[in-house]
Amino acid sequence: MERIPILKMGDFLLVTIQVDMHDRLALALQDDLTEQIVKWRAHGVLIDISALEMVDSFIGRMLSNIANMARLLDAQTVVVGMQPSVAITLVELGLPMKGIRTALDVEKGMRTLRSYIEANGDGQGGDGNPEI
Amino acid sequence: MATTENRLHDALVKHEAVLLKDWIASQAKASGRPMTAAEGQQLEARCSGFLELLRQATREGGDDIMKPEWSAARDFLTQLSAARARAGSTPVETAMFIFSLKEPLFNLMRNESGAQPLAEDTWKATQLIDRLGLFTAEAFQKTREEVIGRQQQELLELSTPVVRLWENVLALPLIGTLDSARTQVVMQNLLEAIVQTRSDIAVIDITGVPTVDTLVAQHLLKTVAAARLMGADCIISGIRPQIAQTIIHLGVNLEDVTTKATLADAFAVALKRTGYAVVRVKNDSGSMS
């Protein structure tokens, strides 16, 4: 069964979605990611969806869920590179994904994560709703 | 026994020259102003052209103008209406082209036939001409609507420029009323520009938006939410006092969005967030007292 690779980069995990997300793949990603966060004690997760052309409400909720799960495990999630059409779809679906941090590209996403983790220090998860 | 259509057709064939002359005269009278020589020639060419087509159509097609035999005459009228609509003629002038044929045609038929078939023939002919006239008006209207549609499209494209204010700062000055179609274009343009220029901040300036209702506010919020999903922050600026009052009275929640009164304030915030500062280089004390 195909899986989405999860790369470890220091404190962060990098997930690049290169294929069309179908529901089973999304569920597998959820399993893998939560496991890897615990395994590596990661503090940040970066999900690159720049290759994702289409989303539905399920995938949208999945991304949101993954971010919330990661937060429970003390890791911050940044979703980067969302396409305009995907953003419009999510908004029209009524899924503005309030809890998720976003960035334009991987570089900016990394910077966001790093500055957040520096600002909050290790192990201090807080309520997960910091000001930027 | 000759049917009504055929009598009409026969009359058209037999008295073409007279009919043409009377028709042109009657149109000249209807237009109410003297025609130039060029206009007269053009009119004559059109009239004789149409009479020719009418003759062919009545020979085979009967009086149902939607039949295929009438297609040449219909095309002619469509083209004529389209040309007149583009040239700025009024609908009345355009429809007059057909309706002015009534008088000469009826005169002709009165001279031609006896009392008994006259009423029947006149009725048939008037129906036919009315139908042709309505067809002309419809074609005219269609062309006008095409023109309006094209202008709307042009307006859409014209009215949504995305301006680069600074490195990583975009501005979107909105002018005119926002409806769903326009917001869609605005949203798409803005999001695409954000991707292209890798901008972190977009300033949406609504100084030129005359009224804000719940729908417009909804559209603005959607745009802001979509930009946020892509990783860019939006600032809404140019909120006039009345609009601020309206937004609060409507109960629209703009709390999650940064709002500023003027574009200058929004720009200052954008610069601060991107880590720039504007510094006066020269203290020009002589310019002001």
- CA A69 to CA A31: how far, in whole Å? 10
Contacts of A91 in chain B (CB under 8 A): 222, 225-226, 229
Contact B180/A at CB under 8 A: no
| pLDDT category of residue B5 using cuts at 50, 70 and 90 | low
Is B198 within 8 Å of B164 (Cβ atoms)?
no
Residue A122 clears pLDDT 60, i.e. is over it: no
In a domain, A17, yes or no: yes
With a CB cutoff of 8 Å and minimum separation 6, the contacts of B91 are B137, B140, B141
CB–CB contact A90 B226 (8 Å):
yes
Q: Of A41-45, A79-83, A108-112, B112-116, where does mean pLDDT reach its minimum?
A: B112-116
3-state secondary structure of B115: helix
Residue B25 clears pLDDT 70, i.e. is over it: yes
pLDDT at residue A132 in the model:
45
* Mean pLDDT within A74-83: 91
Phi, psi of B148 (to 5 degrees): -65, -40
pLDDT at residue A128 in the model:
43
Contact B200/A at CB under 8 A: yes
| Residue A68 lies in domain | 6-120
Contacts of B172 in chain A (CB under 8 A): none
CATH of the domain at A86: 3.30.750.24
Domain spans of chain B? 4-153, 163-274
Residue B35 clears pLDDT 80, i.e. is over it: no
pLDDT at residue A130 in the model:
44
Amino acid at B150: R
Q: Which chain A residue shows the shortest CA-CA distance from B188?
A: A84
pLDDT at residue B268 in the model:
92
Q: What is the pLDDT of residues B118-155, one digit of tens each?
A: 777 788 788 888 888 888 888 888 888 998 999 888 87
Rg (CA), chain B: 32
Phi, psi of A24 (to 5 degrees): -65, -40
Contacts of A88 in chain B (CB under 8 A): 187-188, 191, 226
Alpha-carbon distance A59 to nearest alpha carbon in chain B (angstroms): 14
pLDDT at residue A7 in the model:
92
> In the structure, how many helices (H) and strands (E) does chain A have?
4, 5
CA distances from A56 to A31, A78, B215 (A): 20, 19, 24
CB–CB contact A104 B200 (8 Å):
yes
Percent of chain B residues topping a pLDDT of 90: 15
- How many structural domains comprise chain A? 1
Within 13 A of B219's CA, how many CA atoms are on the CB side? 20
The interface predicted TM-score (ipTM) is: 0.74
Q: Which chain B residue shows the shortest CA-CA distance from A107?
A: B198
Residues 47-106 of A with CB under 8 A from B: 79-84, 86-88, 90-92, 96-97, 100, 102-105
Q: What is the pLDDT of residues B226-259, one digit of tens each?
A: 999 999 999 999 988 888 888 888 888 888 889 9
Is B187 within 8 Å of A88 (Cβ atoms)?
yes
Residue A46 clears pLDDT 80, i.e. is over it: yes
Contacts of A84 in chain B (CB under 8 A): 188, 191-192, 194-195, 226, 230
In a domain, A92, yes or no: yes
* Mean pLDDT within A4-19: 90
Within 13 A of B173's CA, how many CA atoms are on the CB side? 12
Is B169 within 8 Å of B201 (Cβ atoms)?
yes
Q: Which chain B residue shows the shortest CA-CA distance from A81?
A: B230
Mean pLDDT of chain B, nearest integer: 83
Phi, psi of B207 (to 5 degrees): -55, -40
CB pairs under 8 A between A and B: 57
In a domain, A19, yes or no: yes
Contacts of A80 in chain B (CB under 8 A): 231
Eight-class DSSP state of B1: -
CB–CB contact A87 B226 (8 Å):
yes
Residue at token pair 């102003």: B33
Q: What is the pTM of this model?
A: 0.62
Residue B265 clears pLDDT 50, i.e. is over it: yes
* Mean pLDDT within B86-104: 82
> Domain B4-153 has what CATH class?
mainly alpha
Task: Count the neighbouring beta carbons within 10 Å of the beta carbon of residue B213.
Answer: 13
Q: What is the pLDDT of residues B6-20, one digit of tens each?
A: 777 877 888 888 888
In a domain, A75, yes or no: yes
CB–CB contact A88 B191 (8 Å):
yes
Task: Count the neighbouring beta carbons within 10 Å of the beta carbon of residue B128.
Answer: 23
Q: Which residue has the higher pLDDT, B102 or B268?
A: B268
- Determine which helix (DSSP H) or strand (DSSP E) holds B141, and give its type and residue range: helix B115-158
- CA B19 to CA A10: how far, in whole Å? 95
Residue A63 clears pLDDT 60, i.e. is over it: yes
Which string of DSSP letters, residue by residue, matches B31-66? H-SPPPHHHHHHHHHHHHHHHHHHHHHHHHSTT-TT
pLDDT at residue B151 in the model:
87
Give the CATH H-level superfamily of domain B163-274: STAS domain (3.30.750.24)
The tokens describing B89, both together, are 């003629």
